[in-house]
Each structure stands twice: as C-alpha cells, then as structure tokens.
Chains A and B, each alone.
Chain A
Amino acid sequence: MGSRASRLLREEEIEEIKKETGFSHSQITRLYSRFTSLDKGENGTLSREDFQRIPELAINPLGDRIINAFFPEGEDQVNFRGFMRTLAHFRPIEDNEKNKNPSATEPLNSRTNKLLFAFRLYDLDRDDKISRDELLQVLRMMVGVNISDEQLGSIADRTIQEADTNGDSCISFNEFIKASFVVNIHICTVVLVLVNI
C-alpha cells in the first residue's frame, strides 16, 4: 500500500465486518479510528510495535501473548479485518443474540471461542495441547519473582493433574473447557465504551 492518507472505511466493508463479527456500525467506526491512531505507519496494517506502544499493554504480564494473538500464523501485520476478527471474541453478548438460530455458526464471541482464545495464549506451538512447559511459561509470566521454580512447578503439576483426564500430562482443549467451567466467562466481555462520538 504505502499511501500515507488514512483510508476511510467504506460502507461495504463496514457491512461485511458487521456480518462477520457482529459489532455495530458505531462500534466499528470507533474501533477503526482507534486502529488508525495506532497505525503509525499509516499503511493500513498494524505491526507488533504498534501494539507495543500502548503503555498499558506494556505493563500487562501477558502483553506479548495478547499481541501475538492478533497476528495469524507467521504473519507480522494485521489489517483492520483481522483486528476486528480478533476483537470480536470479546464483544459483549447482546441479549438478542441469545435467541438466534441455533444452527447458525457459532458467533465469534461465544464462550467456547473465548476459551479457545485463552487456550491459544497458552499453547504457543499450536499443537492443541498445553504442555507442562507451556503452562509453566505462562505461570511464570503471571506471577511475581518471589515464587521459586519448585513451587511453580508444583502448581503447574497440580493444574495439569486436575484437568488432565486422559493421562497424557497435557491439557487438551476439551479438558481445558471442562476445567474452566467455573471461570466466570460472562464477565469476560470487554466493556467497550463505544460511544458514538
């Protein structure tokens, strides 16, 4: 691309994104303005640095992983569609969605998809299993420096023990879902203040 002027979002694109992700019109425009403000290079895509410039993400222990979740396998830029697709996982569930046609494909922000998102934060190598090492890595990120490796190791072991039902010392996605059953996912909707300014 390379054009310096920031592209305005066309109506058709908005419609497409709306269908795909379920965001409302105003939400999409709002997020687009956020996208462009992050996009320093003004080439319509975001790179990892653009994300890292956000200071709050810098102090988020899982910042790197969250950022990485936006980039599809092996790519280093994400365009607006991809951006929205990832964000769609966290769109608040509207009431009227609950009555939707059950045979329709599962919306992006369903509970399962949210859990999949979380699962992928652990599972770096995308082998659909969380190994002990991967778990340890994430644990180490989330925990202060005062915990010894031994302690962390036991915690990881216990975690796997609780969740692992087929005895392979790894947590598969289904086991993950079962183990996270109590996690209050419905609070895990991003409350985006998407006021139509």
Chain B
Amino acid sequence: LRSLGVFIRQAGTLLFICMILILLHGSRGEIPSKPIAATILPSVKPDGGVQAYPEDQKNNLPMFTMNYPRIQIPFEITLWVLLASFAKIGFHVYHKITIWVPESCLLISIGLIVGAIMHSVHEEPPAVLTSNVFFLYMLPLIVLDFVAVFMQVLWFAVVGTLWNSIGIGISLFAICQIPAFGVQDINLQENLLFSAIISAVDPVAVLNVFEDVSVNEQLYIVVFGECLFNDAVTVVLYNMFSFVAEMPVVEPVDVFIGVARFFIVGLGGMAFGILFGFVAAFTTRFTSKVREIEPLFVFMYSYLAYLVAELFAISSIMAIITCALTMKYYVEENVSQRSCTTIRHVIKMLASISETLIFFFLGVVTITTDHEWNWGYILFTLLFAFVWRGLGILVLTQIINPFRTIPFNMKDQFGLAYGGLRGAVSFALAFTLPDTIGRKQLFVTATIAVILFTVFLQGISIRPLIEFINVRRTNRNLETINVEIHGRLMEHTIAGIEDLCGQWSRFYWKDKFMKFNNRILRKILIRDSRAESSIVALYKKLELQNAMEILDTASGDISAAPSIVSLYEEKKSSSKPQKKFLAADLKNMHDILSKNMYKIRERTVAYRGKHALPNDNHTREILIRRHVSIRRSLRPGSFQSSYFSLPAGKSLESTFPAARRSYADDHETLSEVAYPSQRSRFGKPARSSSSKAMIPLRRLGTLEEVPSTDVLNEDSSSTEQGVFRTNSSYSDSHVPRPRRLNSSFDNNNGSADDLRNVHEEPSSPPPGWAAEPRDNTARNPLLRRPQWTPKRK
C-alpha cells in the first residue's frame, strides 16, 4: 500500500512534460517574451538577437547565426526549471538548513529574490503561472500520496473547509463593517468567496512541512486526506460563491444546488478517475508486444482523466487520484517490470520539478505583482484563518472522537490545526478571481500574505513545537538497554497481533471487494489474470523475486552478512567474566540499537523524505532473512536452533554445503511452477513457505485472502487434516512424498532422507520445528505435481 501511495503521488506529477509541450506550442499563449535571460545568463542577448539571416549584405552562406525567438519559449522554460533545481541542490548541500526550514520556504525565498531582481530591472514576471496554466498543468502534478478514503478524512475535509470558509467569511465581513479599515465596499458574497479561497489547505505545503516532523501517522493521513478532498469542496465553494458574488440576491435554492453540486464534483471526479483507470488497465492488457510505450499510456491516461474532469468542472484532483490508484493496481500487473520502474522514476522527477517550480513562482510573483495592501483586512484575515481553523479542528474532533478507536488527543489536534498550511491552491484561485470584483488586488495580496505567513511561520515553527509537545521520552541515558530492547519487542509483537487481527474495520469491505475483484475485474483487465494471494503481492511489491535470485546465486551471502561485517571471530565462550561497561559504551549501544533495530511496519504511506524513492530495504531485509531461516529449517538436525533465528555469524554455505546444491537443480521446475513465466529463477524461497509459492501456472489453485476454496486449498486442507496429532506429526510429510513424481526432490537427498529418518524415530519434536518444514514440503506445489491427487482422510 505504501508504494501505491507513492505512486499516486507521482502519478499526478507526470503531467509536467505535457505542460511544457503544450506551452511550447503556445496553446495558452501567455508566455510573454520575457528576457529573463538577461538576469540569469548575461551572455544571451536580451533583445532576441534576431539576426538570423543577414538579409542584405552578402549572399554568402552565413557561417554563424543566432535565432533566439525560435527557441525562446522552451529555452526560458528550461532555464527556469534549471534555476529552481539548482536551488534545490543548493539547499541540500548545506544540510542543516533543511532540517529547520522546510524546502518550500527556501524555494519561496529564492523566488522572492529572483522576483526582486526582476522587478528591479522592470521585467515582467513569467506569466507562466496564470491560473489556467496552474489548473491545467501544474495542479495535476501536485497530487500526492493518497492512502484510502476515510470517513474521517472526508469529515474534516468537507465540514472543516465549510466551517472555515463560512467562519472566516462572516468574521471578515464583520470587520469590513468597521469603517476604520476602509473596506466597507466588500460585501458578504465577496468575503465568502475570499474565505473559500484561503481556507483550502494545501497538500504541497503540508507535505513539505510534515516530512520532517515525525507526526503521528493517523494525523498525517487526516491532514493529507483533508488536503486532497478539500479540493472538491473548494472548487464547489469557489464556483458557487463567485457565481453568487455577482448576483444581487442569494436564494435558498441556490444553496441546495450548491450542495448537490458538491457531490457531483466529488463523486464525479472519482468516477472519471476510475473509468480512465479501467480503460488504461484494459489497454495495457494488450501491450505485451510494445513494452516501450507502456509508460506512455499511464501518463496519458492520467492526464486525460485530469483534463476531462476539468472539462466538466468537476474535481480534477480526485479524478487523477482515483485514476492513478486504479491504474496502479491493475496496470502494474500488466506492464513489465521495467516499465514500472520507468514510470516511477519519471514521475518522481516530475514531481520534484513541479513542486519546486510552484513555490519558486510563488516567490517571484509575490514581488512582481501589484499589491494592494490594507493592514486591517490582511491582519484580520490572518487572525481569523488561524482562529477558525483551530476552532474548527477542536469542534470537529470532539464530534468525531467517539467514533475513533484512537481518539485524537490535544497534541494531535494541535498538529492538525497548526499544520493547515495554505499554498499554491489558494494562490491560483486568487488569481482567477473575476475582475468584476472590485477589490481583487486586495484579495490577491491577502492570499499571498496568508500563504507566506503559514508556510514560513507555521512551517518553520511547527517542528520545534511538535517536538516540544512531544516530550514524553525520558532521558535516553536513564533508559536501560533492557527497556529499549523489550520495548521494541513489544511494539513488534503488538504490530504483529494487530496485523493478525486484520485491524482496519474496512477489512470486511475489502474482503468483499477483493472477491468481486478477483472474480470479475481482474479477468477483464489483466492479461494473465489469476487471483493473487497477498503474500505474493507483497513479494512482487518488494521486488523480491530479483532479490531471491540474488539470494540463491550468491550462496546465501545475505544471511551471512553478519559474519561478513564482523571482523572478529565469534567467540563461543559460554561464560564470560562480568564485563564492565563504560558510559560511552552504553551510549554507543543505545545509538546502535536506535539506528539499527527494525522499526515496526508502517501501516500507511509514511512520507519518508520528499523525493526519496520508497525505502523498502528493511522490509526486504527482514523477509529475506526469514526466508533463509525458514529454508534452513528444512534441514535436518538444525531445526531447533535455526528455525527461529539466523544463527549469528553462520553462513549458509558452511552449514549446509551439500544439500544446498541439490536445491539448485530444482530451479527450473521450482520456478516454473512457482511463479509466472517472467521469473526465471524464483528459486528456493518459494518452497520454503508454502504461502508464497501459490501461483502455479497450471492452476493448481491459489491462495487468497478470501476464504474461497480452490484446488490447492483442497490439497492443503487434505494434508492438514490427518496431521495434527503430535506424535504422528511427521507422517503427513511422508504421505505426499512417495507420490512425488518430480525428480527434483529426489536430488535432495539430504533433507528427504533425513526427514524420513526423523520419522522413524518419532521422538518428541523440537518445539519450534513442529509444523514448519513438514508443511512446507507437504504443501509446496513444487512437490506436488498436477498428477498427484491428494488423498482425503
């Protein structure tokens, strides 16, 4: 789910290229000739240097010509992008800054500086960022991590935004009545319109800030989801109010229409997204021969979804999110691995660029537009924005907390309220204000002020504030190693149990949906569709197939990593004299532990650094290691000690030299059965845990989360049945064995014989070993050829 979210995030950003392309061809026609090159690259002649073809002098072929207008537009765009990207590089060179100051602030600052430069030379700002451009091109790029629809998110998004808009609007209107501020000409509708603009929390800004602040995951989801969904709300409100602002009288029926419109906007957006997602999935079903253009489909369809949504004035962000979600799920199965990687990388890159640019432009435009400043109005706007958001969050959480399993505490609420940054969305909306509104400039200025204030002040200060509030960790040095280790152990345990219980309540619906999905949707949309087990999905997601190949061919070096890393011989002395541990040692230990202990799984998309690719390394590591240990547990004699752990320092090679090789022979057969044809060497780990190898090509049946039965389940259930009487526990493993027709296992003299031997002396099995290998071998589809018919007991 995590990479899904990340993919979504980038799915939106992919359209940057489209932006450039279309801009190049001047479809918007708003690119003025802006000789910004003057300020940046003095070498380029500002006046265009159009002496392409010296017409009059000679008829000689000109040796050296320059034709600036020809390249002007793309050239300048490229320069802007480069400049912004250099800025980004610059920030990270000096790392300390980025800890305290969110990148968005820095970018805006740079933008401000550049804008100031431009202003001073009286250049025009790049009108690249008109609102149309923004909505058509850049906004799709900002679609970000989107996890799942939570009612709470909707609650905050819709009701919260409404609350904010109306609250701010009305209070501002009240202020306007005070003659001292001189803004009496702004009527209620216009105020409401303005407040609709500035109450929209901006995902880009929030993201920028939250990435470094370790906030509670739940919080993160809610704020985030709120950002995304309030797009729908904002669009509706904005349209509604702008329409209304021009009307002299507001009638109740208009309000109803507005509400209905909201639903149309939101749901319509989702519907379009899903529709396009399906179309894309369907298309990619047939692209097996034209792998190179697969990424193109992904991008184009997403963008189409966005544009069509804009066409109907429905929530385009929702459209693109749902499109990307749908595509991610289905398309990922149809396209090749390379295409997936390509898509991911391209989107990452585009995301990076677009976010950079947006803030950059914010800065530039801030300086270069004409501002109308009104102290009273603007200050009160700031005040009200803050106050109303805080109030809103307070009230809303009170209402919703009883329904939550983990209620939001005060700290969370503070994070929610404080983290509501405004950003680019408001900015663009302000720009689109119709000119009929008398005080447009004031609104624009006020919006910019709010944005800058929230991004800078709140953005910079949220981190120390959260840390301050978060102080509940005792002084590290007082914490004993014991506590650190056992605490983490408990956390892992809890996480495990939670996963075991299938935590989220929507699990029930997910089951139902998965049934439908497997039965119908996948058949239509996916090329080689077979119902997939979630373990397999996990593997694919973690790209573990390749890792497993490496694991096999590298002689289990990963498992041996500890011994590689360790430069010392492992001392096997059983009793050590009491060592004295210095304080420095202790500190060292704490450091080591905190850096190296696996964190508990993140349930949702954890935003790990703005443009980092998803880091599944730990997860992979864990999975690989466990595989090795499980695989090793198939070996006789080492069950007890090695089943549950990686013997420290042992390499696979040293312990099981011979037997291992025999497995290697099985690769062809193993992999064929174990995995779809693409994976040639899925190899051993497939066998070690039955659950993973459950996609036999020959439709032996698959394992699903859904409790439906199929062939394989029949097999497994039959073998399970006679099995679990303690002493005869080995009998099961031998029931299938004689039937096994494949020669592969016969090669595996070691384990086969040994297991048989163990069977002969049914002493009480080592506790840990019990079911594991037996079930592995029994249930492994590799060891069961299609010809084998399970014997029912």
Contact = CB atoms under 8 A, between A and B. Distances in A.
A124 B566 contact: no
Contacts of A191: 405-406, 498, 503
Contacts of B691: 49, 52-53, 58
Contacts of A51: 500
Interface in A110-150: 114, 117-118, 121-122, 124-126, 136-150
A31 interface: yes
Residue from B490, B724, B793 having most chain A Cβ neighbours under 10 A: B490
Contacts of A74: 726, 764-765, 767, 770
A122 to B, nearest CB: 8
B180 to A, nearest CB: 53
Interface stretch (B198-206, B238-246, B584-592): B584-592
Given A52-B689, A64-B626, A159-B481, A147 B565 contact: yes
Instruction: Tell me what chain B mostly uses at the interface: helix, strand, loop, or mixed.
Output: helix
Nearest to B491: A188
A8 interface: no
Given A73-B767, A75-B724, A143-B597, A118 B486 contact: yes
A179 B482 contact: yes
A161 B713 CA distance: 49
Interface stretch (A10-18, A38-46, A100-108): A38-46
B483 A62 contact: no
A62 B716 contact: no
A118 B490 contact: yes
A142 B593 CA distance: 9
A129 B308 CA distance: 67
Contacts of A39: 707
Contacts of B501: 31, 34, 87, 190, 192
A41 B721 contact: yes
B492 A61 contact: yes
Given A143-B596, A183-B486, A193-B504, A149 B724 contact: no
B482 A159 contact: yes
Contact of B493 (A38, A118, A141): A118
Interface residues of B, number: 105
A64 B492 CA distance: 12
A143 B764 CA distance: 32
Interface in B476-515: 479-483, 485-505, 507-508, 511
Interface string B575-586: 110110100011
Given A58-B623, A182-B479, A190 B497 contact: yes
Given A54-B499, A188-B494, A59 B619 contact: yes
Contacts of A114: 490
B406 A142 contact: no
B622 A60 contact: yes
A158 interface: yes
B508 A155 contact: no
A194 B485 CA distance: 30
A179 B486 CA distance: 9
B674 to A, nearest CB: 15
B376 interface: no
Nearest to A196: B505
B646 A179 contact: no
A57 interface: yes
A20 interface: no
Given A2-B793, A158-B589, A142 B482 contact: no
Interface string A175-190: 0100110111100111
Residue from B489, B568, B579 having most chain A Cβ neighbours under 10 A: B489
Contacts of B644: 64-65, 68, 124, 137, 141
B649 interface: yes
A174 interface: no
A25 interface: no
Contact of B598 (A40, A124, A144): A144
A66 B775 CA distance: 18
A17 to B, nearest CB: 15
B283 interface: no
Residue from B491, B690, B724, B764 having most chain A Cβ neighbours under 10 A: B724
Interface string B181-215: 00000000000000000000000000000000000
Contacts of B439: none
B535 A145 contact: no
B538 A37 contact: no
Interface stretch (B104-112, B424-432, B555-563): B555-563
B724 A55 contact: no
Contacts of B690: 49, 52
Contact of B508 (A150, A153, A157, A197): A197
B705 interface: yes
Contact of B575 (A75, A151, A169, A197): A169
Contact of A145 (B571, B589, B625): B625
B757 interface: no
Given A56-B601, A74-B764, A146 B596 contact: yes
Residue from A137, A144, A182 having most chain B Cβ neighbours under 10 A: A144
B497 A125 contact: no
Contact of A53 (B480, B534, B648): B534
A149 B705 contact: no
Contacts of A49: 689-691, 716, 771, 775, 779
A45 B493 CA distance: 22
A74 B500 CA distance: 21
A118 B482 CA distance: 13
Given A61-B622, A140-B562, A159-B482, A150 B767 contact: no
A165 B500 CA distance: 36
Interface in B289-320: none
A117 B474 CA distance: 25
Nearest to A142: B597
Given A41-B717, A145-B562, A77 B497 contact: no
Nearest to B495: A60
A191 B404 CA distance: 11
Given A74-B770, A118-B490, A180 B496 contact: no
A93 interface: no
A78 B702 CA distance: 23
B8 interface: no
Interface string B521-561: 00000000000011101100000000000000000001001
A87 B481 contact: no
Residue from A58, A136, A142, A190 having most chain B Cβ neighbours under 10 A: A58
B615 interface: no
Contacts of A155: 481, 485, 589, 592-593
Contacts of A56: 495-496, 499, 601
A183 B485 CA distance: 10
B686 to A, nearest CB: 13
Interface string A157-177: 111011100000100000010
Closest 8 CB pairs of A and B: A41-B717, A56-B499, A148-B566, A137-B645, A55-B538, A76-B771, A145-B561, A53-B691
22 contacts: A2-B793, A42-B717, A47-B720, A49-B779, A52-B690, A52-B691, A53-B703, A54-B500, A54-B535, A56-B601, A57-B496, A60-B600, A77-B720, A137-B648, A142-B489, A143-B597, A145-B621, A147-B592, A155-B592, A155-B593, A182-B480, A191-B405
Interface of A: 1-2, 4, 6, 31, 33-34, 36-43, 45, 47-49, 51-66, 68, 71, 73-77, 87, 90, 114, 117-118, 121-122, 124-126, 136-155, 157-159, 161-163, 169, 176, 179-180, 182-185, 188-195, 197
Interface of B: 405-406, 474, 479-483, 485-505, 507-508, 511, 533-535, 537-538, 558, 561-563, 565-568, 570-571, 575-576, 578-579, 581, 585-586, 589, 592-593, 596-598, 600-601, 618-619, 621-623, 625-626, 629-630, 643-646, 648-649, 689-691, 703, 705-707, 709, 713, 716-717, 720-721, 723-724, 726, 729, 764-765, 767-768, 770-772, 775, 779, 792-793
